[in-house]
Chains A and B, each alone.
Chain A
Amino acid sequence: MIAELGHYALVLALGLALIQGIVPIVGARSRDPVLMGVAGTTALAQFAFVAIAFTALTLCYVISDFSVVNVFENSHSAMPLVYKITSVWGNHEGSMLLWVLILSLFGTLVAIFGANLPLTLKANVLGVQSWIAAAFYLFILVTSNPFLRLQNAPLEGRDLNPILQDIGLAIHPPLLYLGYVGLSITFSFAIAALIEGRIDAAWARWVRPWTLAAWICLTLGIAMGSYWAYYELGWGGWWFWDPVENASFMPWLAGTALLHSAVVMEKRNALKVWTILLAILAFSLSLIGTFLVRSGVLTSVHAFATDPTRGVFILAILTAFIGGGLALFAWRARMLKQGGLFAPISREGALIFNNLFLTSACATVFIGTLYPLALETLTGAKISVGAPFFNATFAPLFIPLLVVVPFGPLMAWKRGDLYGVAQRLLGALATAVIAIAVTFAIAGGGSLLAPFMIGLAFYVMVGAITDLAERTSLFRVPAALSLLRARGLARSVWGTALAHFGLGVTLLGIVFETQWGAERIEAMNPTQTVSIRGYDLTFDGIMQRGGPNYRELAAKFTVRSGGVVIGILEPSKRSFPSRDTSTTEAALMTRGLSQLYLSLGDPNPDGSIAVRLYHKPLVLLIWLGTVVMALGGALSLSDRRLRVGAPRPATPKTALQPAE
């Protein structure tokens, strides 16, 4: 009954979406406020019905109703409650349901917080948003219905894939989806602007908070996924340039470019057409990501060909929205009058530089991800494009970008003074040189690249601080006055500085981890000791333990530093009888910002066990930097200047609290 209720609610949501996709847009054309007003009500109702559907599926999981195919295939009665709930989106059908839940949530937020939007724009935005929703409701109902029943209900479920039985699943997909789907709002705004055939600086002001909110979620979502992979996979990697990762990275790159180009549009009334195009592209990349992951085309072109129903459906959605969006763009973009002059040496010039390189970086990832697929489809030749390719092509595009990052905020609009800014960045440059020299001296020669990257990281960080110091006249006026000025600074200024600082922090972590990590691979017997970077790990023994739905083989290691016991590490291997699979649970010990990372291999017949031990210096900076970036974004989002024009302090800020 619960499942049927959910199914029915989803069908009703589809009906509402179709109404919302047509009536308000007709209303906007005929300037009929009643027809346009329909959108607000249907958006709320749509969200309510999708929420009912989602709750219904969640309930089926919580009560372990194995007569529902989806629950049977992905759950187990012995699983802890939290995993039963996260299992809802730990599978294809359920994750699509989460996707549309968030989509309808965003629609509702626009309906609620868009009170200050022009009536026609709001109607068009909600209408377009509803087209997307309708397409995905249909996709779920036709090809991926999570509410299907089994004829005979089995007694026990097949369990969730053990790798997904982790708290990461509770956080990572929802955050990522908030990011992906958040970009759909920007897309809807862009399409609405094209339908209306006009766009102005105010449009950029309305769009920026949504983009920013989506960007924050995407940033945290990707970072969370990276950390999850790092501790769960057991070989200590945190980024693999995997197509699935790239699928989330591309919208992030495009979204970051969009954030910056929207600033130019808002402040200088320039880059309008480009911003619209970026908004369309950013969401298109989200859709392409959905296609790549959901169609099975990544596994192989042939896997896609054998069961193409879902893939073809998503491909159709993809073609309709991307093709339609771009066609509309090609047709109407000329109507959007390009305004605003920009000089190459100016704040907008720096932001355009940012856009050029971010877009190129995004294009590189796109080409690298899809090239093997395209080549195999066209010629049958199989090639691989992996991490070494991306490292070789992505870095040269990102380094110039990082060099320019500190210049941007210090430049004046319209006409910047490159020499003056360079002078103000002397401190940052000096820090960089010192960092390079010190690193080079300590590392004892070798490649210059690593010290250079360290210098670059410091340059970006100090450069971000320089912007704040300049604006508060730090050290040039009494400290109290500086403090007063600091408090008076717009939050978006702090946000920018923080986000750029975070970028430097992440870079620092990446360089340290990749350049100066240490690794030991040993076969160890009990009482043996292995040393790494001044830590001695003694293998105390192996024990068998039981968990709620698994058995685990855990090894106990005592960690000593300078003869003093500083902790215990217990890496383990878990086996899940219900799925006949096992997972490696690495044990981590955090020392400051560095980590010791220990994972187990197979036990040998002679009683020894293979262990893999890493020392990862400053590795936490990688994720700490992304959190700082997200904080910067949140700070910008709370800037009241982003709300100018809003009669009440009504912003998406409060509604999007989970991002923080």
Chain B
Amino acid sequence: MRLLPLVLLLTLATATPVFAVQPDEVLSDQQLEARARDLSRELRCMVCQNQSIDDSDAPLARDLRILVRERLKAGDNDRQILDFLTARYGEFVLLKPRFSLQTALLWLLPAAVVLIGAFGLIVLVRRQRKTGETDVALTSAERARLGKLVNSPNE
């Protein structure tokens, strides 16, 4: 529960915190570099805990960043690069999992929760319209106490 610092405590136990993208990695073509950064944010550093290769300072992340830039320079489109990396490292490398049988629930549940909730509410409203408002009756004990309170002006 101690939020990030604790995560760091786990992740950075081995790596020292320098920072991620190094000056020598940056591409001279600004548009390609921007694409590289966007792609890097979608890719997981596999030896880290929940860090993208754009944020991670691990050597593996650096290798992946360079790899992404090499593919970009070779003229691959974003899709091809993601496919290439997924083929190499598995679905684990994608921070936004692709829709598949395995991830169907993951992608569909949020929408399902809203729809089910909305449906439930509609049913509730309709049922209420039929039955009308019901006031909660007092229990006999409460009625007795109420009577006592009403009858004794001092209280």
Contact = CB atoms under 8 A, between A and B. Distances in A.
Q: Do A and B bind each other?
A: yes
B74 interface: no
Contact of B24 (A228, A359, A367, A523): A523
A168 B2 CA distance: 11
Interface in B120-143: 121, 125, 128, 132-136, 139
B106 A368 contact: yes
A299 B49 contact: yes
A601 B9 contact: no
A384 B133 contact: no
A180 B1 contact: yes
A392 B22 contact: no
A229 B125 CA distance: 45
A359 B4 contact: no
A59 interface: no
A176 to B, nearest CB: 6
Given A339-B135, A342-B128, A601-B19, A356 B118 contact: yes
A177 B106 CA distance: 30
B64 interface: no
A367 B3 contact: no
Interface stretch (A42-50, A108-116, A141-149, A242-250): A242-250
Interface residues of B, number: 58
Contact of A387 (B10, B16, B52, B113): B52
B26 interface: yes
A235 B5 contact: no
Nearest to B10: A299
Nearest to B92: A382
A386 B96 contact: yes
B110 A367 contact: yes
A237 interface: yes
A1 to B, nearest CB: 30
A163 B3 CA distance: 12
A235 B139 CA distance: 62
Interface string B44-69: 10000111100100000000000000
A516 interface: no
B78 interface: no
Nearest to A379: B102
A523 B25 CA distance: 11
Contacts of A172: 2-3, 5
Nearest to B108: A367
Contacts of A584: 17-19
A521 B93 CA distance: 25
Interface residues of A, number: 83
A472 interface: no
B23 A522 contact: yes
A267 B107 CA distance: 37
B91 A232 contact: no
Contacts of B20: 235
A381 interface: yes
B17 A229 contact: no
Contact of B110 (A229, A269, A363): A363
Contacts of A289: 1
A480 interface: no
Interface in B80-98: 90-97
A437 interface: no
B103 interface: yes
B50 A177 contact: no
Contact of A164 (B9, B91, B114): B9
Contact of A233 (B8, B91, B132): B8
Contacts of B6: 244, 293
A234 interface: yes
Contacts of B134: 337, 339
Contacts of A222: 3
B90 A382 contact: yes
Contact of B1 (A234, A241, A247): A247
Given A342-B125, A383-B92, A584-B19, A293 B1 contact: yes
Contacts of A397: 110, 114
Nearest to B96: A388
Contacts of B110: 360, 363-364, 367, 393, 397
A371 B113 contact: no
A163 B102 contact: no
Which residue, of B19, B44, B93, B94, has the highest number of chain A Cβ atoms within 10 A? B19
Contacts of A602: 18
B7 A234 contact: no
Most buried by A among B96, B102, B107, B133: B96
B109 interface: yes
A129 interface: no
A-B pairs with lowest CB-CB distance, top 6: A386-B95, A388-B96, A225-B3, A364-B110, A523-B23, A229-B4
8 contacts: A233-B4, A359-B117, A381-B102, A383-B97, A385-B96, A386-B50, A389-B95, A521-B23
Interface of A: 90, 95, 161, 163-164, 166, 168-169, 172-173, 176-177, 180, 198, 200, 222, 225, 228-229, 232-235, 237, 240-245, 247-248, 269, 289-290, 293-294, 298-299, 337, 339-344, 352, 356-357, 359-360, 363-364, 367-368, 371, 375, 379, 381-389, 392-393, 397, 521-523, 573, 581-584, 599, 601-602, 610, 612
Given A241-B50, A384-B97, A581-B16, 17 more contacts: A169-B5, A172-B3, A234-B17, A234-B19, A235-B19, A243-B50, A293-B1, A359-B117, A367-B109, A371-B105, A379-B102, A381-B102, A383-B92, A385-B97, A386-B52, A521-B23, A612-B19
Interface of B: 1-10, 12-13, 16-24, 26, 41-42, 44, 49-52, 55, 90-97, 102-103, 105-107, 109-110, 113-114, 117-118, 121, 125, 128, 132-136, 139
